[in-house]
């Protein structure tokens, strides 16, 4: 009698174990319900740092005289900047570059017959970095007035930067993450589910483009320096499990 009872209990245990293991196997192969969303953060800002460069040149067949003339032009440039409220310490003058100029000669039939020396061209560049964006921007447009004083000055287009970029990135990541979570909650609610755990979070490429410029985003991240007014954007990709 005891043997029969033991056999029944043992058989029942086997059946129950088989059911439990069978359900566990089925649940293991059942795909976990997840939702993946992409959030987008965008903000506009104004550059607070300007970097401007210019170049002035002087030519002469006598190298020493060319250097003397270029030095005089440098004084004219510095005086011009001083009269427009630019501190001399903010201006960086690079080393003088000397270029020996020659002219190629050809025969009446177009055959190259040599070249002759026509003089030296000396050039020097100036660079200014400043938080006085409007002031430097104005000077970059008007400094060609130096041509009237005999200075061959070529002004380059200013470059614009933002000194609080690190803080801006943190703000943008927060915006993009919040936007992604809101989208996930809406999708889950519309499907009759609820968000459970955040399992994957990935940040996209940080992009800075000129405002209203129509620039394309780059796979490596865009960094516009030609526009004073800019737009920053970033994406985040989040994956949640569902209850």
What is the 3-class SS of 1-22, one letter each residue?
Answer: CHHHHHHHHHHHHHHHHHHHHH
Through-space distance between the first and last CA atoms of the chain, rounded to whole angstroms: 49
What digits encode the pLDDT tens for the residues 43-63?
999 999 999 999 999 999 999
Mean pLDDT (whole number) for 65-80 = 95
- The answer to whether residue 106 scores a pLDDT higher than 60 is yes
In angstroms, the CA 100 to CA 66 distance is 12
The percent of residues in the chain predicted with pLDDT above 70, rounded, is: 87
In angstroms, the CA 160 to CA 137 distance is 10
Q: Is there a contact between 113 and 107 (Cβ–Cβ < 8 Å)? A: yes
What DSSP element (H or E) covers 133? helix 133-142
Q: Is there a contact between 215 and 224 (Cβ–Cβ < 8 Å)? A: yes
What digits encode the pLDDT tens for the residues 118-133?
999 999 999 999 999 9
Closest to 223 in 3D by CA, of 41, 38, 47, 40: 47
CB 43: neighbour CB atoms within 10 A? 13
pTM of the model: 0.76
Check residue 31 and give its pLDDT.
59
Closest to 152 in 3D by CA, of 178, 121, 196: 121
What DSSP element (H or E) covers 214? none
Mean pLDDT (whole number) for 217-236 = 89
DSSP 54-98: EEEEEEESSHHHHHHHHHHHHHHHHHHHHHTT--GGGEEEPPPEE
What digits encode the pLDDT tens for the residues 169-221?
999 999 999 999 999 999 999 988 889 899 999 999 899 999 988 777 777 78
């Amino acid at each position: 009698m005891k043997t029969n009872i033991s056999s029944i209990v043992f058989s029942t245990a086997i059946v129950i174990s088989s059911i439990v293991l069978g359900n566990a196997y089925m649940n293991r192969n059942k795909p976990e319900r997840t939702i993946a969303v992409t959030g987008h953060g965008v903000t506009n800002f104004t550059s607070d740092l300007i970097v401007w460069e210019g170049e002035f040149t002087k030519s002469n067949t006598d190298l020493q005289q060319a250097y003397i003339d270029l030095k005089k032009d440098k004084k004219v440039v510095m005086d011009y900047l001083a009269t427009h409220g630019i501190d001399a310490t903010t201006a960086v003058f690079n080393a003088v570059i000397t270029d020996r100029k020659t002219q190629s000669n050809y025969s009446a039939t177009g055959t190259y017959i040599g070249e002759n020396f026509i003089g030296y061209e000396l050039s020097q560049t100036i660079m200014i970095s400043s938080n006085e964006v409007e002031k430097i921007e104005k000077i970059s447009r008007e400094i060609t007035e130096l041509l009237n004083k005999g200075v061959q000055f070529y002004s380059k287009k200013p470059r614009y930067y933002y000194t609080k970029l690190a803080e801006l990135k943190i703000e943008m990541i927060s915006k993009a993450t919040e936007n992604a979570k809101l989208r996930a909650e809406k999708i889950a609610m519309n499907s009759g589910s609820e968000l459970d755990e955040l399992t994957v979070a990935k940040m996209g490429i940080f992009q800075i483009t000129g405002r209203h410029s129509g620039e394309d985003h780059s796979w490596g991240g865009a960094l516009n320096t030609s526009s004073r007014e800019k737009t920053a954007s970033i994406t985040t990709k989040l994956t949640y499990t569902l209850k």
